[in-house]
Every structure is written in C-alpha cells, then in structure tokens.
Amino acid sequence: MPFRSVTHQLKSKWQQKRSSRAKSVDLPTPPSTDNETAHPPTLQQLQQQQQQQQDQEQQNTGTTTKQDDKRKKGKDLPPSPDYLLAGIGDYLFDRPLGHGKFSKVMLAKHYLTGEQYAIKVIDKRLHEYRVMSRLVREIRLMEALDHPNVVHLYETVETADSLYLVMEYVPGFNLDEHLQKRHGLLHEDEARLIFRQMVAAVDYCHSRWVVHRDLKAPNVLLKTNGQVKLADFGLGNRFGLQRLRTMCGSMLYYSPEIICEQKYIGPEVDCWCLGVTLFRMTSGFEPFSHARTFGELRKDVIDGNYPMPTHFSEGLQQTIRKCLTVDRRRRIALRVALKDDPWLNDNGRMKDLFLEKGSDENVRHRMERERSKRQCLKDMEEEKQSGQHVKKTVIYHPINASIYFTGNAGYSPRMEENTQTQELLRAELLAEMK
C-alpha cells in the first residue's frame, strides 16, 4: 500500500475522532434567571399543561409500526368514504351533536323503532396503536356495565376505516353546565338526589370490578327528568389483585395516593372524587382550589387541609369527611365509607342504597348474557375457520352482539382507489336522492 494512502487514512481517522469529541462536549446550560426561581408555575398553568399533555398523549404512541406511520400522516389521507353515509346498520343519521379532532357524534334514529341514539364515529386511520388500545379498553369496560345510571353502549359497528359506537342518547346537560345555571352551587336536597344516583352508579361499577378514575362534574350527565347518567370511561380500568399505578384524572380531584404516585386498588380513588364532586356541588368550588402551586396542592391533599363552609349542615360535613379521609382504608369501598350515612339517607327518610342485592332475575339475565357471549365467540371462530376475515376489536355487548363488516376487499392506502370509491358512493347517494 502506498505511504500516501496510509497517511490519508490516518488523517481521516484523526479528523473523525476530533469531530466526535467536539460533538460530545456538552455546552454549559445558562443559569436560571431570578424570575424563573421567584415565580413557580401556578396551579392553573399546571392544569393547562396537564390538559396539553393528555391531548398530546392521544396523538403519540409508544411503539412505531408501518401502520402507525400511515396513521401519523393524517394530512395525506383522503376523506373517509364513511363520511358520506346517511346511516350505519339499522340507524339513520339525523344531525351532528358534536365533533372532535378525530371523531364526531351523530344523533341517529333506529329505522324500525324510531328511537334516538348517539353514535360516535371514530376514524381509525387517524388513531395510533396506543390510542386505539385505550379506546378498545373503554369499550370493553362499557360492555360489562348495565345500570340505569350509567350511559349504555348498545352495539359497535366497524368498517375498514371507521368505528361506530351506538350509545344511549341523553338529552339534557352535564352537571357542570347545571351548576353554572344555578350560580355555581345547589341546595343540599337537590345535591343529595344527584349524589345518591352517582353513588349507586359507582358502587355498581365497583361490583363489576370497574373503576372510573375521572369522576367530576363534566362527566355526569343529567336528563330533563333529573336522572343521572355516568359517562366517559376513557380513564377507567379493571381492578383486582394487581394494584394500579397510573397517575390520571383532573388535578383538583387527585387523591393522596394519586398525587404521591403510589400504587392503589381503585375504589378508594373514586370515593375521593365523589367527595370532591359533592363539595363542588354544595359550595361552588373544589375543596383544594385555594392552592396556588402543585406543591401546595400536594401538601394540602396529603394533610387533608381544606376549608369547610359554615352553611353546610352537620350531616353534609360528615359525609364529605368520610369521602375525603386521608386514610385510604376507610374509603376502600363505598359500602365501607358511606354505610348507614345519615345525610345520604336523609335521616332514614330514604332507603339505604347498599341494602339492595341482586335479584334472581338479574342473575338469570347475567347467565343468559354469558351464554350469548360464548355463542358469539363460537360463531366468530367458525367464520374464521371458513376463511372470512373477522376483526376482533369488540367481542360482545350487554344488549346486542357486535356487528362486523367482513370482506375480502380491505383498505387500500392508495389515493386513487380511495378517490374512486368515494366518487362511486357519491354517485349512488345522488341517484337515491333523485
């Protein structure tokens, strides 16, 4: 080998080492200014950051796959042909009720019965794996619940691009909107009627091994007749022998174990949130809203330091203290914390919520649902063995079995094929209109 080439190789290696050392040198970080140290972030700023982080978590994913990369490029995807549909399954769309970044809610009518339903339309192409897994978990939780104070999920319809959740339509408003109309607070008698239904719904969820973890006024729906409907199980989960550890929920509703990032069972968190909601209904503000920073909030929650308004009755104060006790063992279950509570039962004038037991009819109904579930799984297995493509996003619902659109023609990411499909659907719709 010529000497010149050897020299050239050594010189190039030396330059590479020198450049790598220069890159590895960390520049000193500038010192923090006095303004940064003197003005820590306020609790309101932290709440805004928490909301932004939750929104960002819905867009990010922990694993990267080719399918996730396709979903990330939402701007490159053509409009879904499903948006041109006038209905889905046995339901006809009436008008939109609301919309979000990746979904919309439509008011629909059953074409046979004329009953109204709220159908949530979710574009699966725009969601990533982690978000879809949370959505599937929320669906499976709602599948297990069948209570008059919990929003029903009747069935799920799935196409290649979209997921349709057929839910109970609740005309009315949420508890937060109701409080705003009443100048921020309610009378104890009205608050008792709402709180009793919330307790009944949460206690039923716990009996089905489901914990909500995000109980607050916006997630409590009120019908015009005063009936309460518990909604939004997006942060819910199953609980059991394995402890939960996710730090979730709204900041002003954090329980001591949540704010200390400790493991917890689940029902004790819901009991704490019920106490905060009851305090909010009867006072007009959250019990720990006086904290200005997260450090103050954490200290007040751990110490159980919150003001008790003087206009509260003695019974209401005792009920709130039972729910907001720092000792988690005393709120490990609602039946433990609120058993024979005088204010909750209006000093004996109302029946005890925890004396009711499941009737034989409910047991038979649950056994029939289990048999139907096993039959549904058996049918799906037979369809799979026969060569049909079965999507196992949702397996079973309390009311009806899930509906699956299965076919050989799957979703094609190519722009021209989607555009062609969209034009064909539009032509068919125009022909029907004429």
* Binding residue positions for ATP: 120
Catalytic residue among 146, 161, 203, 214: 214
User: Is-contact 230 151, C-beta < 8 A?
Assistant: yes
Residue with tokens 């914390």, as numbered in its chain? 337
Distance of CA 55 to the CA centre of its chain: 12
The DSSP call for residue 178 is H
**How far apart, in whole angstroms, are the C-alpha atoms of residue 324 and residue 301?**
9
Task: List the end-to-end C-alpha distance of the chain, in Å, as a whole number.
Answer: 84
Position of tokens 């949460």?
202
β-partners of residue 210 are: 238
Indicate the Cα dihedral angle 15, 16, 21, 27, nearest 10°: 90
**Residue 214 is a catalytic residue:** yes
Paired residues of 99 in beta bridges = 104
Q: Are 90 and 108 in contact (CB under 8 A)?
A: no
Name 350's Cβ contacts closer than 8 Å, sequence gap at least 6: 196, 344
Cβ distance 165 to 156 under 8 Å? yes
Active site residues: 214
